[in-house]
Structures are given as structure tokens and as C-alpha cells.
Amino acid sequence: MPLYEFEGRRPQIAVSAFVAETAIIIGDVRLGEQVYIGHGAILRGDYGTIEIAAGSAVEEGAILHINPGALCRIGRRVTIGHGAKLHCPEIGDGAVIGIGAILSFNVRVGEWSIVAEGSVVPNGKTVPPGVIVAGNPAVEIARVEQRHRDFWNYGKDLYADLARRYPHGCRRLDTKPQNPGEVIDRE
């Protein structure tokens, strides 16, 4: 996994966090226990600080960055979906940021809110706790119910499990198959 120091700003990664080898972590990025950072994710703490609390998942291809001197705080057990782009200071505990969502400057998302897939949350908007927003620009469409929490808690547990399993259960195979359909078994 590429970890980069930027002008003395260095990543801090908890022992039980998992960072995929194709993810890129730059500068002041702080990852808590059992955080999962997926393949191709980019976290840039070059100007500001990115802090991700325990049990959160940044899925494959997501990009996180923050303004100079600012803090991007991602709460506990947050799910940031595949390909999401975040440039905002705060995501509350338990929140879900859907696949491909975009959160612009100065956006704040409350606890247990859900930003639907592909939504765009514009500059300065605050998403209150416990709501679902969708669209471009994102608007409130519903309240989060227990069924939503149950569904997303299941998904959050899957990523916490992957953070535990990946370091020992996933290994790179450096040899490519010679023929289409060939299976590589190097043991």
C-alpha cells in the first residue's frame, strides 16, 4: 500500500485497520481500529487532516480530500460507497454515503443519515441526522427507519469483518495465466 509523507505530515494507521495495496494514503490521514480502505481509494491529507473513526469503510475508488488547514472527520461505523467523492468536514456516526455520491465543500452529514447513490450535496449544505437525501442537488426524501439501520448495520459488519480477514486471507498472485481460463495455483 502506498503511504506518503507530505511535508512532514504522515499517515497514522491503527494496527487493526486494513488499507488495500492499491489504495493511496497521503499526509495527515488518521485511521481508527477496524477501518477498511478499499482498492483504488485515495485519501489526501496534504493540506488538511482526514480522520476516520473505528469501524468505518471507505469502499473501492472513493476519493477524500479537505481544504487547507481543515479537518475532515468521518465518524464511527460510516459507510462511504464505491466511487464517492468527499471534500467536506464532517460525516456523523453511522451515516451512509452511497455509491458515486459527491459531497462538496463545507457539507455536514448528521448521524445515521443516508446520502443516496449518485446524489450531489452542494457546497455548505447540512444534512440533518436521521434523514435520507437524494438527487442533484440532494433533497430530503424520507426519514431513516429501523429497517434501514438493520440493513446498513449488516453491511457495516461485513466491512469490519473484511478489515479483519484481508490481512491474512488475501495474497497477491504475481504470475499471470498463460492461457484463457487457466487457474493459477502456486502452492
pLDDT in tens, 4-59: 999 999 999 999 999 999 999 999 999 999 999 999 999 999 999 999 999 999 99
Reference 61, options 83, 34, 36, 32; nearest CA is 83
Name 114's bridge partners.
96, 132
Confidence of residue 2 (pLDDT cuts 50, 70, 90): confident
CA distance 139 to 124: 13
Pick the closest to residue 101 from 83, 88, 114, 89 (CA basis). Answer: 83
pLDDT band at 171 (very low <50, low <70, confident <90, very high): confident
Residue 186 scores a pLDDT above 90: no
For residue 48 the three cell numbers come to 488538511
CA separation for the pair 115, 141 (Å, rounded)? 10
- Over residues 135-166, the pLDDT tens digits come to 999 999 999 999 999 999 999 999 988 889 98
Give the pLDDT of residue 185.
Answer: 58
- 34 forms beta bridges with none
Res 183: pLDDT: 63
The answer, yes or no, to whether residue 176 has pLDDT greater than 70, is no
Topology annotation, domain 3-169: UDP N-Acetylglucosamine Acyltransferase; domain 1 (2.160.10)
Residue 125: pLDDT above 90? yes
Q: Where are the domains of the chain?
A: 3-169
Omega within 30 of 0 (cis) for the link into 137: yes
Q: What is the mean pLDDT of residues 70-85?
A: 98
